[in-house]
Structures are given as structure tokens and as C-alpha cells.
Copies of this chain bind each other. A is one copy, B any other.
Amino acid sequence: MPNRSQSTFQTGKAKVFLVDDHPIVRQGLGLLINREPDLVVCGEAEDAPSALQRMASAQPDLMVIDISLDGPDGLELLKTIRLKEPILPVLILSMHEESTYAERSLRAGANGYIMKQEATERVLVAIRRILEGKVYLSERLTNKMLEQFVHGAGASNNNPLTTLSDRELEVYRLIGAGHGTRQIADELHVSVKTVESYQAHIKEKLSLRNARELLQHAIESSLSEKSAFGAAD
């Protein structure tokens, strides 16, 4: 009887573990969850190390993890958890714009993503959906993902950057390094118009709306090539 992740069948309540660096948020979520008949909080943690430590004895059916933690962030924690618990349901909670982190979260193995701006009931909806083995995303996000799946020939590439051509990727990296259109044109010995064209293609392939989002995406992606977080086993 190796897992009990299909929520209720023994205790009658699905056990939820909370990870957030804001005590107020933990308290709020805790009270919210505990007053549901089918859910109960089985543990809390304020950062990744203590979460990993306390999880062992708490035996949660589901994790709710905030992205912004001190030290290793929520995604790092998620990845570490995935090493030991490949199927434990995880809901990522964040105050950031979906567009920034949702995709990243799913790739890291999350079963759902929800913003703190959402109404509290949505959190319960998300939790139950995930406990049913489904994925929770906002409607807008779901559509975006589907579209990207269709456009991007899905299956093989989990990384949308692989759909970029060599030249496009080159430009993308330079943008992430903070270089401007003009500068990039000079560096690649092509016309500014050509670089603009690449940017347009990149934006299309990555479903970005304008140059700001492109710069944002490129910077974030260039920054996330770091840190590994020593495996905790």
C-alpha cells in the first residue's frame, strides 16, 4: 500500500501541507482549509529545508507551495520534492503574474498554479481538482497553453526555446544580456530591420505581446541559468 495520494480513503480527509514564508498567509490558508470537511492541514513550513524535513512525518496528500521563499525558491523545492515523490500533487501559489511563472511551474512538475490575487474559494477549487488527479490553471492560462501546444508541435519540445531558429535564439540571448536592437544589428552585421524581424518571430513563437514582455522573458531565462540546490537525500 505504497501511496495514499487519492485523497480520502483512510482518514476521511486529504492532508495538505503548506509552504509559505508569510505566517499570515499560512494562517489564512490553514483556517480556510481546516474548516472544510474533506481537508485538513497536516503541516507547515516557511522555507524549503524545513519543508523537506517535516514532509517526511507529515505524509501529505498535497503540497501548497509559494514561489517566493527565502533561500531556494518554491520551484527549487518542487524539483527536489519530485526526486522523491514523483506523483505527489503540488499546487504552486504565487503573487506574481501568471505569465511569468505558470509555465515554468508546470515544467518543474507542478499540478496547478494559482495567484494570491484569486478569491479564496478558488484555492479550494484548485486543491480539489488537483486531488482528483487533474491540473488546475486559470482559464486564460489554459487557453494559452493549449494554443502553444498546437502551435509548437507539442510532443517533443517541452522547451519553447527549441522552436526558435539559430538566428532567433542568438538574438534572444543577446536581448537577455541587455543588448538593444541597434547594438544587436551591429554585432550580427545585419540590418536593424532584420533584427526587428527576428524579434517579431520570437514574440510570435513564445506568445509574447510586445517588446517589454520579450525583454522580460529573455532576462528571466538568462537569469535562471544558475543554482542547482544540493539534493537533499
Contacts and interface: CB of A to CB of B under 8 A. Distances in A.
A155 interface: no
B70 A226 contact: yes
Tally of this chain's copies: 2
A191 B216 CA distance: 24
Contact of A178 (B21, B27, B32, B213): B213
B219 A23 contact: no
A170 interface: no
A139 to B, nearest CB: 18
A190 to B, nearest CB: 19
A46 B212 CA distance: 27
A54 to B, nearest CB: 17
A38 interface: no
B210 A25 contact: no
